[in-house]
Amino acid sequence: MKLDWKNPHLTSESIGLIYGFIGVVGFSLTLPATRAAVLDLDPLFVGLGRGLVAGILAAFTLWFTHQPIPSKQQLRSLSVVGLGVVLGFPVLSAWAMQQVPAAHGAVVLGLLPLATAIAGVVRAGDRPDVTFWIASIVGSTTVVVFGIISGAGHLQPADLALFGSVIAAAFAYAEGGRLAKVLGGWQVISWALVIIAPFEVLPTIFLVIKEGLIASPTAWLGFAYVSIVSQFIGFFAWYHGMAIGGVARVGQIQLLQPFLTLLASAILLGETLEPIALVTACLVVASVAVGKKASIKRAEDL
């Protein structure tokens, strides 16, 4: 999707937010699709296999477009991205989705925007003002309170895995968003996938031999989605948006993801969508609007 950069009403941050929203829409189906996949497939196979499939697509894309090999420093940063969004998040979230409903996972992942903002401060050099932090904390707290009210707030082992996936994704988002300014959004995720792919081959083959590949069409459809969209294409818009609009600000768009995921879970998996979710969603949208107007000093401005 190509946006009109010459439109005087679209600032770079607004364009970044639009790209970020496109990425979030793609990511919002990740938990429901993963949940569908792990009902028949081993969660470790889903977590590793999605990265391997996406890695093959990424390798072909990089070869076809004749992309130059990144520098040693960039490769180190790409390894951080790969460990976070190619290994950490997929494996931990896949295991959690075998234990709890996608709606439950959506609530816990509501903490991701705040975690991404913190990671943006640490890795990307963003410096949000007090208004931004208040909006982020209010939005994240709203998500957590919603989880408690809806009965999904009690901690269990799967929550620890989901918390781990939040940390892994947050730092990978921040590192990738920073690196995308130099390499480009789709190049970042493509190189990260290629770097991690060799470590996924043998475990994936072992799991195929051990568990087999017999699964329902629904499970394979879920696996295909997380492999192609969640692990690959979705990051094109996501990292591009972060490079344009900043890690902290674009990361706040993720506050909308839990509710998009809840809606998808209700439609695709038949999970319950509580009426209070609509009210909570309005509060979250309000916090995003406030956060958008807050001042954020990016690294290049300091």
Supply the pLDDT for residue 258.
Answer: 78
Sequence-distant (6+) residues with CB within 8 A of 194 are 55, 58, 59, 62
Q: What pTM does this model have?
A: 0.82
Nearest one of 194, 187, 191, 173 to 236, comparing CA atoms: 187
Supply the pLDDT for residue 130.
Answer: 80
Question: What residues of the chain score a pLDDT lower than 70?
Answer: 1-10, 122-126, 128, 147-148, 150-155, 273-274, 277-278, 281, 285, 288-289, 291-302
Supply the pLDDT for residue 1.
Answer: 46
Supply the pLDDT for residue 259.
Answer: 80
Supply the pLDDT for residue 301.
Answer: 47
Residues 171 and 117 sit within 8 Å (Cβ to Cβ): no
State the burial class of residue 223 (Cβ atoms within 10 Å of its Cβ: 0-12, 13-18, 19+).
buried
Report the distance separating Cα 91 and Cα 236, nearest Å: 21
Report the distance separating Cα 87 and Cα 45, nearest Å: 11
Supply the pLDDT for residue 57.
Answer: 96
State the burial class of residue 292 (Cβ atoms within 10 Å of its Cβ: 0-12, 13-18, 19+).
middle
Going from the C-alpha of 112 to that of each of 24, 104, 251, 290, 302, the distances in angstroms are 12, 14, 8, 18, 25
Supply the pLDDT for residue 125.
Answer: 62
Report the distance separating Cα 236 and Cα 183, nearest Å: 12
3 state SS of 54:
helix
Sequence-distant (6+) residues with CB within 8 A of 25 are 260
